[in-house]
Chains A and B, each alone.
Chain A
């Protein structure tokens, strides 16, 4: 406890760096995966390659990816941009599937009704498809948010600032309290973000209920495990 009190500025600094690295990755992942997921949903032949590619993507371990990326995008090894790009790629890999699954799950009647009412494709996508697919997309986004916050710490072994520096620094100096503080803050940040997403979801989609047991079972059979895989 005294370690925390004595090092409050340092902790807040690391926390801020952590948020500044993980938040852009989460937002970018959402923005990129919406059109990609729509493509995978709309053009069937793309579905296989996109989802296989996404699956392989999150088989890649994070630290090696942080090291390989700089060669491909021309940054330095200790550049925080590598972490943002890598975390965005992981996020997209997870979210593309949620988006295309969410769009697949829209009842065709709702779509036909919207078309019959005179909705143009783009407006129908924004006003009908997206809200109806919303709950599935949100559940994907929650997984992305939590795993992104957790993965962000790995960059610390390369010296990239985040809460992970509390682990490496605490280990080097033999301060248990520092490592524990880092773990607790990382988990707390992840869970806080998760709650925030749930609350935002309730505000934006007041009609959405938790999916019934029946549908959740069906999703298990349709490859629920693949979705349970998170990048490491």
Chain B
């Protein structure tokens, strides 16, 4: 417990917060990596996932890709990219995107599949065009599930970004590896605690966003069912 106390003191020491290697800057860097990786991965995975969900084509491939990705060791991807692309942001960012794409892809098509087919048929019967069915029915109804996918992708990237410091990236992982090298356990533990807090905060944020994304009509219908 003494070590925990020292780690807490390390976190609260103002001198550890200063400059480009300070806790504030490293946290922002960490969150910046996460945001950028999520944006790039979404640009790739969301359209593909929606297309798979809307047309039902390529479902087998999408299922296989997102399933096999679970077995992919993140550290392996990070070191592989680090060795192939060298020092810099390109290597870790490629790794983050590779690891974030599968869960976003899976959530994008699962969101569409979870939409009741009768609702889609009803929308068509009312004369909505195919594009309107997509944007007004499938996208809003599938949004909560998609946000769930973004949530797991974000957690995946936060964790992997910690590892990426091993191959020379910035972020909070720096404290973990620097502490390991210099036998500074307070720094390792303090850095770990901050990553954990960041991950939990992000998780809660996405959980709230997922709840807020449930369309009002669906919420009303669910309340009706529950009563």
Contact = CB atoms under 8 A, between A and B. Distances in A.
B73 A167 contact: yes
A230 B114 contact: no
A12 interface: no
B1 A71 contact: yes
Interface stretch (A60-68, A104-112, A127-135): A60-68
Interface string B157-201: 011101100110000010011001000010011011101100110
B55 to A, nearest CB: 17
A224 B114 contact: yes
A184 B2 CA distance: 42
B79 A170 contact: yes
Contacts of A232: 74, 155-156, 158-160
Nearest to A184: B76
Interface residues of B, number: 56
A149 B71 CA distance: 7
A37 interface: no
B107 interface: yes
A146 B163 contact: no
Interface residues of A, number: 52
A35 B191 CA distance: 35
Interface string A114-153: 0000000000000000000000000000010011011101
A194 B64 CA distance: 14
Given A59-B200, A158-B180, A228-B103, A64 B75 contact: no
A63 B73 contact: no
B192 to A, nearest CB: 3
Given A179-B76, A217-B114, A228-B106, A61 B155 contact: yes
Contacts of A68: 189, 192-193, 196
A128 to B, nearest CB: 29
Interface string A182-220: 110011001100100000000000000000000001001
Interface string B114-157: 10000000000000000000000000000011001101100110
Contacts of A59: 155, 199-200, 202-203
Interface of B: 1, 3-4, 68, 70-80, 82-84, 103, 106-107, 110, 113-114, 144-145, 148-149, 151-152, 155-156, 158-160, 162-163, 166-167, 173, 176-177, 180, 185, 188-189, 191-193, 195-196, 199-200, 202-203, 210
Interface of A: 55-56, 58-65, 67-68, 71, 77, 143, 146-147, 149-151, 153-154, 156-158, 163-164, 167-168, 170-171, 174, 176, 179-180, 182-183, 186-187, 190-191, 194, 217, 220-221, 224-226, 228-230, 232
